[in-house]
Structure 1
Amino acid sequence: MPHIDAQDLAARYAAVWNEPDPDQRRKAVSDLWAPDGVHVLQPPQEMIEEARRIGFAQPALTARGLDELEARVARAHEEFVATGEYTFRAAPDTAVALEDVVTFRWQTVLVASGEVTGGGLEFVTVDEDGRISRDYQFPGR
């Protein structure tokens, strides 16, 4: 298992969502995640409630493989960052590594004021190359 610099991983993770150039973003995604990497997002509360209403116990939104991961990152960039309203950053000094697991917090920041308006918890596992194999995202946590 490679040595994992948890703060560096968290910073690179946040940076990939902010990358404006599609080619650079695609490269950053392939540098950060394993080819068969998986990103699992805990949906917003209103989606969870609707899913439960129609019979799903605990829904999750999943992107598998580099193409889906790149599409997920690109969509989030378009919605939040490309508008010029928000940026993402790793919360300072929150990243911790234990063997092949890294946890850290991230923040959504208003560009105009620097105010933190949201964020969440990330729980990732890395492969033998130090790339993310499983990525669990908990917005609002």
Structure 2
Amino acid sequence: MKVIDRYLEIWNETDPAQRRVLIDEVWAEDGRYTDPLAVVEGRDAFDAMIAAVQEQFAGLRFTLGPVDAHHDIARFTWLLGPEGGEPLVVGFDVAVLTAEGAIAAIHGFLDKVPA
């Protein structure tokens, strides 16, 4: 599913200007992100959260697992780790899309986190 591929691109884009272009393409203006560690609403807050995650996990990359989608929802697994290496973090997200196909909400779960 292309919107989910683009969503993961956002997490890996370290150039702030290019990351914002991707966010504006994929993320609904009032999109909401929720996981066990964060709740953010809107593009600016989402962008700031990603920048903080990139700083905390510098040099690591997100990769996408299988995506299962129907109607306006998608579920997928993602992994965060060194390129080609064992993931340090594994998560499972559910995306809710707008009628136009933008991400309206992400409901995130963490399956594996560093000790």
Bigger relative contact order, structure 1 or 2 (CA pairs below 8 A, ≥6 apart):
1
**1:97 and 2:69 are equivalent in the alignment:** yes
Partner SS for 2:99: coil
What is residue 63 of structure 1 aligned with on the other side? 40
Deviation at 1:98, TM superposition (A): 1.2
* Unmatched 5+ stretches in structure 1: 1-5, 44-60
**Equivalent-residue separation in structure 1 for 2:25 and 2:18 (angstroms):** 10
What is residue 23 of structure 1 aligned with on the other side? 17
Provide the aligned C-alpha RMSD in A.
1.5
TM-score by length of 1: 0.73
Q: Percent identity?
A: 29
8 Å CA contact 1:11–1:89 kept in 2: the answer is no
How many residues align? The count is 112
1:118-133 aligned within 5 A: 118-133=89-104
8 Å CA contact 1:38–1:65 kept in 2: the answer is yes
Greater strand proportion: 2
From 78, 82, 91, the counterpart of 1:106 = 78
Residues 23-78 of structure 1 deviation map (CA, whole Å, 9 limit, x = unaligned): 001111111110010001123xxxxxxxxxxxxxxxxx310011111111111112
